Structure 1
């Protein structure tokens, strides 16, 4: 019997993190242990606590997935220790997800559990490909089938001939490997060779691809497309009635792989804007953020935290580390006192606002010098106590300005360190080498220098596409030229909005001969 331990079987949905339920996110944010598989988007792990244990039980290079009985043993063992355990499964736990087997084991061991449904692949694939699974004129039934019931044995047990004459829609999970046999059995059962078929790979992600054909043509259509697993096969007249407007795959950057170096706070915002326009974004981590602080200094500052009239956060990383430590010392946010809060930029401000704290000052230009100047000009800091939360990078300029020009009394609280990421075995770098990219968007001179320093780990392998290089502004362009890198284009203005618009224009010109 567990001592307050509990297991949550959560559907991670089809891939897009935006399709995860609110309840699922709440549990991910609070769980002690996350047990996840191949089809659960790794971005969901960014919502978890830094100290949460993460156990991967899916497939990886050189080995098969962990056997089901071992997964169940992990769930039971962690729960019996009193831990809150999330079992994160692609799609929905109870639709070909072996959730029933895991529930049975939990009940046998008297482990409390909760089931959180997820958007299953059939619904998501159809929606993102514009296919109405039901239609009052063409399909009044929907059948979910699996290409093989046991993913470990890869055997087909369903006789598809039994489903050949119905007028409903067939949704086949895990059917790519067995598609020749599935098609053959449907034809043997009497299905018309002109029946429409759609196959959607990596549905809801910006790497989604689709191919459409008929029962007679789909095998050759699939081979020509290069599409593979994971993919959903949808069969029925409704496939031919799919929407004419490709609302998902028709976005301007769809199908483009764009690398965004992550050496600046703005990378997250740039990624969001590119993904909204359909790009598959690969965030390349040139730096790693690690906690690094003096515990005695933290204790001293927290003990007198209410004396500060201003607290200045220079980065989102500092915000996250500060509040992680603060909540260990205090349970109530009101213990911060009546201080006012300044942030060096919008990204940092958003991180602060997650704690329901109003940000009193964000400089018009997102840099420390501008923050110091505006703070002094608007507030007058003489004799005022100020706390600057920062990392290990040099912030002496900010502190000196506040002290010498503002005559403030300034304390600094370094909470994290930045160090160069090791790209040799980084999975993102490996993906870039194997699959290549279409474009690298440099957001600063420092990202250019980091890229050049570690370029040997980013060279595209034979057959992989080689990326073009773009610059956000004149200084970044200058650094690109100094390092011998050709510039495909420079943003018309040094802002993210213009950078994204110019990226769309660049790809339109390279694919549309009329634009040359």
Structure 2
């Protein structure tokens, strides 16, 4: 029995504009065949064990021919696989989805079309240009900017198209821009008609150039405009002045390097991207199992009944502890006698996932504040367990030892430099595209310095943003001058402080 193929429109560029149906079918894909214009983060919606095949096509650069892609879809479906063909935009708007559907139909393969938001309407919207507007434009047309090279004559009826439609939207037309503008003007479109060129629309890299029909080609050359971009002609372009919104976001134009590990990094990325920033996640640390292979943590869990307090200082510590608890065939019920203290709202949330509410969380998310808040609640005969990273600051156990009978530190994980990211990190900084780097712990600073080695000078012109004073102090210890330090030591607090800094320094 053959499987099924889903021809899925990935949307115009911003991965969050994928449809719910698209995300649903991706979540059960066994094979994903994806295009150049599909954001790589879309692939995270598919199971990690799925087979991923790149079939991208740029101008003059085809990884696979269309015929090879058609054959690949059929072959994988005949292996009884659930196949997702992920295509930029909408599969049926210059996406050659019709050709793929014909091939599947001819091979008697079950398939489904999952429409996507086409860049023809989404990209202008992100540039503050409505393709229709009452009193200005009551019609629009979407036109290919590069017809098939096999055609001997154009199938575009320029003499009709040029003046019959209020708004003209050309997709994939950068290379043929001179030809397009000449045809439109020659067939009656006014040379002074407002026009827009929009590159990487809906993404943080978006660039909008406002011009006129007669000057469009010169404008593209002056700014060295490269695909992917759309070309829009019509009076609606004038609305860009009043309702441009995406490129007016507070952090638009900032390229921010996120140095934390994946899940917490994604939380910060979402917050910053919502404000218009382009974020690049490149962890400088990786979380590893402790050097003692959890021996000290397992020993502590064996004697868990003896502890009055359990203190967590990070999400990683929480998850490592409960993973080892489960391996001893125990769960949260074994902890009913203990009280819990945590540093940070994220750590509190992680603990709650195991059915436990923290008894203490300090107002300021640092060890110094936690000690002071815990002090009235700790008796001389208290026993305290702290599952945490091997190289964490000694302040917390040292200070708690002064007011409790026993403080045991169990190594729950360790952080090491993400050496596999070294070459990419250096190349990125050398490219001068990064405008800001965020640090969410001292270890992210220490390991960035380790990865850079003698090339620390690459940081000289980059704004450094720290989650709190301890991390900022670590920066200074390495001769770095952090510009931004969050007042509230959370991802939300850091994102808020970055936004405030941009407002003050750049008068957004």
Shorter chain as denominator, the TM-score bin is 0.7 to 0.9
Matched with 1:223 is 221
Other structure's SS at 1:441 match:
strand
Going from structure 1 to structure 2, the CA distance change for 1:509 and 1:390 (only over 3 Å counts) comes to closer
1:446 aligns with 2:443: yes
Match of 1:72 among 62, 70, 73: 70
TM norm structure 1: 0.75
Going from structure 1 to structure 2, the CA distance change for 1:406 and 1:480 (only over 3 Å counts) comes to closer
Matched with 2:485 is 491
Going from structure 1 to structure 2, the CA distance change for 1:144 and 1:291 (only over 3 Å counts) comes to farther
Larger deviation: 312-321 or 280-289? Answer: 312-321
How many residue pairs end up in the alignment? 496
Other structure's SS at 1:170 match:
strand
Going from structure 1 to structure 2, the CA distance change for 1:495 and 1:290 (only over 3 Å counts) comes to closer
CA shift for structure 1 position 218: 1.8
Matched with 1:193 is 191
Matching of residues 303-322 of structure 1 within 5 Å: none
Task: Judge conservation of contact 1:10–1:88 (CA < 8 Å) in 2.
Answer: yes
Match of 2:466 among 458, 466, 471: 471
Bigger Cα Rg: 2
Going from structure 1 to structure 2, the CA distance change for 1:263 and 1:165 (only over 3 Å counts) comes to closer
Going from structure 1 to structure 2, the CA distance change for 1:511 and 1:337 (only over 3 Å counts) comes to closer
Matched with 1:10 is 8
Task: Judge conservation of contact 1:169–1:236 (CA < 8 Å) in 2.
Answer: yes
Other structure's SS at 1:481 match:
helix
1:392-442 per-position Cα deviation (integer Å, ceiling 9, x unaligned): 98899999999xx9999x9x997999662412454x764444352112222
CA shift for structure 1 position 136: 3.1
Matched with 2:167 is 169
Task: Judge conservation of contact 2:145–2:176 (CA < 8 Å) in 1.
Answer: yes
Query: Which structure 1 residue ranges, 5 or more long, are not aligned?
Result: 301-306, 327-334
Cα distance between partner residues in 1 of 2:265 and 2:124: 32
CA shift for structure 1 position 478: 2.9
Task: Judge conservation of contact 1:321–1:416 (CA < 8 Å) in 2.
Answer: no
Cα distance between partner residues in 2 of 1:294 and 1:59: 49
Other structure's SS at 2:499 match:
helix
CA shift for structure 1 position 202: 1.0
Going from structure 1 to structure 2, the CA distance change for 1:373 and 1:142 (only over 3 Å counts) comes to same
Task: Judge conservation of contact 2:259–2:285 (CA < 8 Å) in 1.
Answer: no
1:275-314 per-position Cα deviation (integer Å, ceiling 9, x unaligned): 122111122222345799999x9xx9xxxxxx9xx99998
Task: Judge conservation of contact 1:437–1:466 (CA < 8 Å) in 2.
Answer: no
Going from structure 1 to structure 2, the CA distance change for 1:471 and 1:357 (only over 3 Å counts) comes to closer
Matching of residues 237-252 of structure 1 within 5 Å: 237-242=235-240, 244-252=242-250
Going from structure 1 to structure 2, the CA distance change for 1:413 and 1:292 (only over 3 Å counts) comes to closer
Larger deviation: 312-321 or 31-40? Answer: 312-321
Other structure's SS at 2:27 match:
helix
Task: Judge conservation of contact 1:438–1:465 (CA < 8 Å) in 2.
Answer: no
CA shift for structure 1 position 77: 2.4
Going from structure 1 to structure 2, the CA distance change for 1:313 and 1:43 (only over 3 Å counts) comes to farther
Larger deviation: 57-66 or 113-122? Answer: 57-66
Cα distance between partner residues in 2 of 1:110 and 1:392: 58
Match of 1:135 among 133, 136, 152: 133
Other structure's SS at 2:475 match:
helix
Other structure's SS at 1:105 match:
helix
Matched with 2:177 is 179
Matched with 2:452 is 455
Matched with 1:214 is 212
1:32 aligns with 2:30: yes
Cα distance between partner residues in 1 of 2:442 and 2:88: 39
Going from structure 1 to structure 2, the CA distance change for 1:186 and 1:64 (only over 3 Å counts) comes to same
Matched with 1:332 is none
Going from structure 1 to structure 2, the CA distance change for 1:480 and 1:258 (only over 3 Å counts) comes to same
Going from structure 1 to structure 2, the CA distance change for 1:10 and 1:430 (only over 3 Å counts) comes to farther
Other structure's SS at 1:88 match:
strand
CA RMSD in angstroms comes to 5.1
1:86 aligns with 2:84: yes
Cα distance between partner residues in 2 of 1:27 and 1:416: 37
Matched with 1:503 is 498
CA shift for structure 1 position 479: 2.5
Task: Judge conservation of contact 2:10–2:88 (CA < 8 Å) in 1.
Answer: yes
Going from structure 1 to structure 2, the CA distance change for 1:293 and 1:469 (only over 3 Å counts) comes to closer
CA shift for structure 1 position 337: 8.5
Cα distance between partner residues in 1 of 2:482 and 2:249: 22
Matched with 1:481 is 476
Going from structure 1 to structure 2, the CA distance change for 1:171 and 1:471 (only over 3 Å counts) comes to same
Cα distance between partner residues in 2 of 1:35 and 1:246: 35
Query: Which structure 2 residue ranges, 5 or more long, are not aligned?
Result: 299-304, 326-330
Matched with 2:328 is none
TM norm structure 2: 0.76
Going from structure 1 to structure 2, the CA distance change for 1:424 and 1:501 (only over 3 Å counts) comes to closer
Cα distance between partner residues in 1 of 2:321 and 2:95: 39
CA shift for structure 1 position 240: 2.0
Cα distance between partner residues in 2 of 1:417 and 1:51: 26
Going from structure 1 to structure 2, the CA distance change for 1:320 and 1:444 (only over 3 Å counts) comes to closer
Going from structure 1 to structure 2, the CA distance change for 1:104 and 1:197 (only over 3 Å counts) comes to same
